[in-house]
């Protein structure tokens, strides 16, 4: 209709308006800047971490693949992989032999491996720094590395040279001359000679053999969900000895990481949105008269909208620009530090500066500014000139109001409540903003504390120290030494700082063959752990059960109670202590407990075949703490009383110790002193909770610091929001407060009113955090709780945060009112509003 070339004057008005409201605009710019900074940092940290994790994985694995098929594979399985819709590439590797000796060295560690074209050119290429020459085609050619040659004492050889080596394969030992047709350098296992397909075919091994054939799979998508991985396992009909392993960057943990990052970004945007909305809402409400005036002199609503939008564009532009610049500058130091804390061990961390991240951060921040300011912009444009002429920030009391009994309740509390709910939307915004800050704090602190070194160590290590007799790791019982004997245990017991100790007793036993339980166990054991088939050894076992020995593990009542609490099928304590029943160590065989429960197992001590025992199995456990000695036949956990009854002098394989005071370093030093004093000190080993704590702390680095950094940035936005609202609220209600003062409200009463108002804000924010915040925290906590640590809210930090919020809510309005009060006298204040 009437299109005017007036954008210049609108822009000028916007700039002037901005320079006239410095305080408001600085806060706005700061909010946008922090949001852009946080978004950029979150995206860059996420991107860098993902990238570095992938690089690290390629370096550690020696190739770029997502799924590893181990344990040999059939032709059908290879075909299924090649045609599978989820799989992009299939690399095949075959173990063709191992080095035995050269003229220069007789203890070789190098192996001979064949890699197919996909494996060599696609899977392994990203892990190689350089390659010279060609992949072997003939059976006497090898592709070598410096490390492999050095292992053979042939470090001076290079491409074109030949060497003679004795190696082993399925057919026996051979000595052969090889020519080095190529060399490579890079990451992964380097003590390897890559050989031709012909060589592999002549080795006697097939890809179906356990431990000889491997597949490396690259998937089409970024990651494989748990369901899709299980589908793949099912499609491939993975056998008992075969394993399909998913690398960490391809697992759906990545999905959780992405969700976590998105969540953090959403909270950042929400905090910034609340602040921008609030500031703009307050600013526009306070400037209704100004916008009305502009409309009176002919500015159209569209032009007003354009002007306020322009203001926000300038604020947003400056804020986003400054935030991104800050992000880019700090990221050189900050991002590698965060990424290292998150578990990347690479020396050189390449920061993933992607234009996409800059664009996305700017886009999200800009969208936040736009959405946050759209309602206030509309409000400014809709301000009626006539209302503006007589505008005063007054309460709209056109709705029915309840008639209150003025005598009920404290007047000051009532006034505070009334002030709080006068503008419900504004109050809701401030409460949301403060509540979100508190909730993020609660969430971060709970997650960080639960993943904190002390919590992790305390949770997975019950005892303060566990000492182990390493001589009992030897296969032959003749090598065992009674290191943890009666006198050693007595010295520990006599230490005043030791609260309790629990020795684990061991005896070697023989379990003769029987067709029911033992047969079931042996079949599963050989399927799972042994290269040869059970059928091949069954006869031998039946004839010579002593060659297939196992162990009895004796535990005391306290250890039993702990173990019994952790297993599915509860065992009656009296039956266990009396030696009527035992608990079977499952050895991760995946046994069906129903096939085991109640089965009686017969055994005798290996050095006393006369003493035959029989016991019913009533429980099953996979806790390896009790099974440091493993045989072929089942390991049985029995009561120490029973064990002592059948054996005169059982060995103590380990002893767990608990101090009266957790993490008592002095007590631990004394115990370590006992080990040091032993002549056989090298045969002891121990696990210490204190040392574990130090190690976990070191591994976690400054995780707490970074978490707190995020919390503080978000809390800062929330606090700014409260400060801003509080100050603006006071400014707009100056007239009301001044009038109350003039009709006799004392300074003390005014202060009380402001304190109560602040307390109500704090209370509502706390309710928000303790309901919505706590629910989200609990959900997040449980979804990340891999270690099964019980949910626990860290009391001290949370109480401290609550205290800070309360203090802030009380002090900010008091300080703001003091400032206003000191600037003008009561009369001046009232007169200012009258004119």
Partner 1 sequence: MDIVETKNLKKYYRAGEGIVKALDGVDFSVREGEFVAIIGKSGSGKSTLLHMIGGLDTPTDGEVLVDGKRLAGMDREQLAIFRRRKVGFIFQNYNLVQNLSVYENIVLPIELDGVHIDFGFVEELLELLKLQEKKELFPGMLSGGQQQRAAIARALASKPAIILADEPTGNLDTESSHSVLGLLKMAAKRYQQTIVLITHDYDIAQLADRIVRIEDGRIVKGGSVYA
Q: Which residues bind partner 1 (CB under 8 A)?
A: 1-2, 4-6, 8-10, 12-13, 16-17, 19-20, 290, 293-303, 385-386, 389, 835
Q: Which is nearer to partner 1, 24 or 658 (CB)?
A: 24
Q: Which is nearer to partner 1, 19 or 406 (CB)?
A: 19
State residue 354 phi and psi, 5-degree precision.
Answer: -105, 135
CA 592 to chain centre: 32
State residue 240 phi and psi, 5-degree precision.
Answer: -65, -40
Smallest separation, CB 306 to partner 1 (Å): 11
Question: 232: burial class by Cβ within 10 Å (0-12, 13-18, 19+)?
Answer: buried
Smallest separation, CB 377 to partner 1 (Å): 15
Smallest separation, CB 16 to partner 1 (Å): 4
Separation between Cα atoms, residue 438 and residue 442, nearest integer Å = 6
Smallest separation, CB 249 to partner 1 (Å): 55
Q: Are strands 600-605 and 498-510 parallel, antiparallel or unpaired?
A: antiparallel
Smallest separation, CB 269 to partner 1 (Å): 31
Alpha helix ranges (H) inside 451-501: 453-460, 486-494
Separation between Cα atoms, residue 583 and residue 570, nearest integer Å = 10
By three-state DSSP, how is residue 89 classified?
strand
Residue with tokens 């600037």: 823
Q: Which is nearer to partner 1, 287 or 469 (CB)?
A: 287
Q: Which is nearer to partner 1, 389 or 800 (CB)?
A: 389
Separation between Cα atoms, residue 70 and residue 233, nearest integer Å = 12
Smallest separation, CB 278 to partner 1 (Å): 23
What is the CB-side half-sphere exposure of residue 557 using CA atoms within 13 A? 6
Smallest separation, CB 15 to partner 1 (Å): 9
Separation between Cα atoms, residue 739 and residue 749, nearest integer Å = 14
DSSP codes of every residue in 223-285: ---HHHHHHHHHHHT--SS-EEEE-GGGSTHHHHHHHHHHHHHHHHHHHHHHHHHHHHHHHHH
Contact at 8 Å (CB) between 803 and 708? no
Question: 139: burial class by Cβ within 10 Å (0-12, 13-18, 19+)?
Answer: middle
Smallest separation, CB 314 to partner 1 (Å): 14
Q: Which is nearer to partner 1, 124 or 388 (CB)?
A: 388
Extract the tokens encoding 806. 């309360």
Nearest to 558 by CA among 606, 504, 603, 610: 504
Smallest separation, CB 1 to partner 1 (Å): 8
Q: Which is nearer to partner 1, 337 or 830 (CB)?
A: 830
Extract the tokens encoding 750. 């005014």
Smallest separation, CB 301 to partner 1 (Å): 5
Smallest separation, CB 2 to partner 1 (Å): 6
Smallest separation, CB 389 to partner 1 (Å): 7
The DSSP secondary-structure symbol of 599 reads -
Nearest to 520 by CA among 581, 570, 590, 623: 590
CA 671 to chain centre: 35
Extract the tokens encoding 453. 């070194």
Q: Which is nearer to partner 1, 6 or 162 (CB)?
A: 6
Contact at 8 Å (CB) between 362 and 57? no
Smallest separation, CB 421 to partner 1 (Å): 23
Question: 247: burial class by Cβ within 10 Å (0-12, 13-18, 19+)?
Answer: buried
Contact at 8 Å (CB) between 431 and 809? no
Contact at 8 Å (CB) between 555 and 563? yes
Smallest separation, CB 299 to partner 1 (Å): 5
By three-state DSSP, how is residue 710 classified?
helix
Q: Which is nearer to partner 1, 383 or 433 (CB)?
A: 383
Q: Which is nearer to partner 1, 407 or 835 (CB)?
A: 835
Separation between Cα atoms, residue 800 and residue 798, nearest integer Å = 5
What is the CB-side half-sphere exposure of residue 101 using CA atoms within 13 A? 6
Q: Which is nearer to partner 1, 20 or 705 (CB)?
A: 20
Contact at 8 Å (CB) between 316 and 366? yes
CA 511 to chain centre: 44
Q: Which is nearer to partner 1, 15 or 750 (CB)?
A: 15
Q: Which is nearer to partner 1, 397 or 748 (CB)?
A: 397
Smallest separation, CB 731 to partner 1 (Å): 16
Q: Which is nearer to partner 1, 297 or 403 (CB)?
A: 297
Separation between Cα atoms, residue 742 and residue 575, nearest integer Å = 85
Separation between Cα atoms, residue 810 and residue 375, nearest integer Å = 30
Q: Which is nearer to partner 1, 305 or 426 (CB)?
A: 305
Q: Which is nearer to partner 1, 196 or 295 (CB)?
A: 295
Q: Which is nearer to partner 1, 17 or 56 (CB)?
A: 17
By three-state DSSP, how is residue 749 classified?
helix
Contact at 8 Å (CB) between 184 and 146? no
Smallest separation, CB 6 to partner 1 (Å): 4
């Amino acid at each position: 209709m009437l299109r005017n070339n007036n954008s210049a004057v609108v822009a000028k008005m916007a700039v002037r308006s901005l320079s006239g409201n410095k305080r408001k605009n600085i806060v706005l710019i700061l909010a946008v800047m922090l949001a852009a900074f946080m978004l950029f940092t979150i995206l860059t940290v996420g991107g860098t971490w993902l990238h570095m994790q992938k690089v690290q994985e390629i370096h550690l694995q020696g190739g770029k693949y997502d799924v590893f098929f181990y344990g040999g594979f059939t032709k059908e399985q290879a075909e299924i992989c090649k045609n599978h819709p989820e799989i992009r590439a299939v690399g095949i590797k075959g173990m063709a032999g191992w080095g035995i000796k050269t003229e220069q060295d007789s203890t070789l560690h190098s192996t001979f491996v064949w890699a197919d074209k996909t494996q060599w050119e696609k899977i392994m290429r990203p892990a190689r720094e350089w390659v010279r020459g060609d992949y072997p085609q003939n059976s006497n050619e090898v592709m070598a590395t410096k490390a492999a040659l050095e292992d053979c004492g042939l470090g001076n050889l290079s491409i074109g040279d030949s060497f003679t080596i004795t190696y082993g394969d399925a057919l026996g030992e051979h000595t052969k001359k090889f020519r080095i047709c190529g060399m490579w350098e890079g990451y992964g296992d380097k003590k390897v000679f890559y050989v031709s397909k012909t060589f592999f075919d002549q080795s006697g091994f097939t890809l179906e053999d356990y431990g000889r054939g491997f597949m490396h799979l690259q998937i089409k998508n970024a990651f494989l969900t748990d369901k899709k991985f299980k589908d793949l396992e099912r499609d491939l009909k993975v056998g008992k000895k075969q394993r399909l392993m998913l690398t960490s960057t391809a697992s759906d943990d990545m999905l959780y990481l992405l969700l976590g990052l998105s969540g953090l970004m959403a909270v950042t945007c929400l905090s910034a949105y609340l602040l921008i909305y609030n500031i703009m809402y307050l600013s526009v409400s306070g400037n209704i008269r100004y916008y009305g005036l502009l409309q009176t002199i002919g500015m159209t609503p569209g032009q007003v909208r354009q002007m306020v939008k322009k203001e926000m564009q300038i604020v947003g532009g400056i804020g986003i620009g400054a935030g991104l610049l800050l992000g880019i500058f700090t990221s050189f130091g900050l991002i590698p530090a965060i990424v290292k804390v998150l578990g990347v061990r690479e020396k050189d961390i390449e920061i993933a500066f992607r234009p996409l991240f800059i664009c996305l951060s700017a886009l999200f921040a800009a969208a936040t500014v736009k959405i946050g300011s759209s309602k206030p912009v509309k409000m400014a444009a809709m301000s009626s000139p006539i209302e503006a002429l007589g505008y005063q920030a007054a309460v709209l009391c056109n709705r029915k109001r309840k008639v209150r009994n003025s005598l009920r309740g404290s007047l000051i509390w009532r006034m505070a409540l009334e002030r709080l709910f006068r503008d419900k939307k504004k109050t809701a915004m401030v409460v949301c903003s403060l509540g979100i800050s508190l909730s993020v704090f609660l969430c971060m602190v709970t997650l960080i504390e639960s993943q904190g070194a002390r919590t992790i160590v305390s949770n997975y290590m019950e005892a303060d120290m566990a000492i182990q007799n390493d001589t009992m790791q030897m296969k032959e019982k003749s090598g065992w030494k009674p290191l943890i004997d009666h006198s050693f245990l007595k010295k520990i017991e006599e230490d005043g700082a030791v609260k309790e100790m629990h020795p684990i007793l061991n005896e070697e036993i023989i379990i003769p063959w029987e067709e029911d339980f033992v047969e079931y166990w042996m079949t599963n054991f050989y399927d799972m752990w042994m290269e040869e088939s059970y059928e091949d050894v069954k006869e031998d076992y039946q004839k010579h059960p002593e060659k297939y020995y196992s162990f009895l593990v004796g535990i005391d009542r306290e250890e039993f109670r702990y173990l019994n609490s952790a297993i599915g099928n509860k065992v009656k304590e009296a039956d266990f202590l009396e030696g009527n029943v035992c608990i079977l160590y499952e050895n991760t065989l995946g046994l069906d407990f129903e096939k085991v429960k109640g089965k009686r197992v017969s055994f005798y001590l290996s050095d006393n075949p006369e003493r035959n025992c029989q016991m019913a199995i009533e429980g099953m456990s996979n806790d390896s703490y009790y099974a440091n000695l493993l045989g072929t036949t089942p390991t049985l956990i029995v009561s120490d009383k029973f064990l002592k009854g059948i054996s005169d002098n059982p060995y103590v394989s380990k002893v767990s110790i608990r101090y009266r005071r957790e993490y008592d370093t002095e007590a631990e030093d004394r115990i370590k002193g006992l080990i040091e004093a032993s002549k056989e000190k090298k045969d002891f080993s121990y696990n210490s909770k204190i040392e574990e704590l130090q190690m976990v702390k070191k591994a976690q680095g400054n995780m707490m610091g970074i978490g707190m950094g995020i919390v503080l940035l978000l809390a800062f936005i929330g606090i700014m929001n409260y400060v801003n609202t509080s100050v603006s609220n006071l400014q707009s209600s100056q007239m009301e407060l001044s009038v109350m003062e003039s009709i006799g409200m004392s300074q003390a009463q005014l202060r009380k009113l402001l304190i109560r108002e602040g307390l109500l804000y704090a209370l509502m924010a706390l309710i928000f955090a303790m309901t919505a915040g706590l629910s989200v925290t609990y959900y997040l906590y449980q979804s990340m709780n891999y270690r099964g640590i019980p949910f626990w809210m860290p009391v001290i930090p949370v109480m401290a945060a609550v205290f800070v919020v309360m203090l802030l809510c009380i002090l900010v309005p008091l300080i703001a009112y003091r400032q206003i009060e000191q600037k003008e006298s009561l009369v001046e204040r009232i007169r200012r509003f009258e004119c």
